[in-house]
Amino acid sequence: MKLEVCVDSIAGLNAAVVGGADRIELCSCLAMGGLTPSVGLMELAAKAPIPVYAMIRPRGGNFIFSPQEVDQMKREIDAVRNTNLAGVVLGANQHSNALDAKLLENLIDHSDELGLTLHRVIDLAPDLVEATETAVDLGYERILSSGGAHKAFDGIENLAAMHHTAAGRLSVMPGSGINAQTAPDILQAADFTEIHAGCGSTYPQDQTLLDFGFEAAGEKKTDENQVRLLKTILLDLSQTTLDH
């Protein structure tokens, strides 16, 4: 059972590694669902002892991209390749919210030899099972999804259906709101092989920085102890499954 942790800073990456994460999703601006990380952060992340996949998302908002934004995304994919990271996390949809298979095929071709994760744009799709089949056809390794709900716990039934549809052709990785309390129930819904979590904790904030807008209220930082706790739970669940 693998644990992927999303981080948006070098401190967060270090905490995730020390806590026992198996893979990193590298982003900027996690508060907006994750955007493309800086080249500098990619270069530092390349030194990590575990695989690092970089988010490729040029801005917040919807996932319908202009030709210039597609060009930007390709340049960002090139940066991932040039810094020797393991893969990319990317997605796009149409006005109907169905996956934009034509654009994704273009981006995936440009990502040649890099690992591929489809991000939570799939949670906007009108038919998650159909979208899972599209992801399989496109050649993704895995889908990060909350089952179309705001939190994975509320999308358990859809996640199980997606997992059944994938039938081992790719991994369906539950994500959003996963922590030590919710993970056991989510992982009992199907024989998932990996999960995605933020493992963040709030921290004391500087009111002056908040007043200037240099910091957002309620921000979280990746917590090494939260990573370690969740990883321990996954190991225990895996052992219990093997014992039975």
The reported pLDDT for the residue numbered 212 is 95
- Which whole number is the average pLDDT over 36-50? 98
- Does the CA dihedral 42-116-238-151 come out positive or negative? positive
Q: How confident is the model at residue 241 (pLDDT cuts 50, 70, 90)?
A: low
Residue among 147, 218, 135 nearest 177 (CA): 147
- How far apart (Å, rounded) are the C-alpha atoms in residues 59 and 34? 9
Nearest one of 76, 153, 203 to 145, comparing CA atoms: 153
For residue 237, what pLDDT is reported?
A: 85
- Domain membership of residue 58 as a residue range: 2-243
Looking at residue 144, its pLDDT comes to 98
Q: What is the rounded distance in angstroms from the CA atom of residue 179 to the CA atom of residue 210? A: 27
Counting the structural domains of the chain, the total is 1
* Cβ neighbours of residue 16 closer than 8 Å, sequence gap 6 or more: 5, 7, 24, 199, 222, 224, 227
CATH of the domain at 65: 3.20.20.380
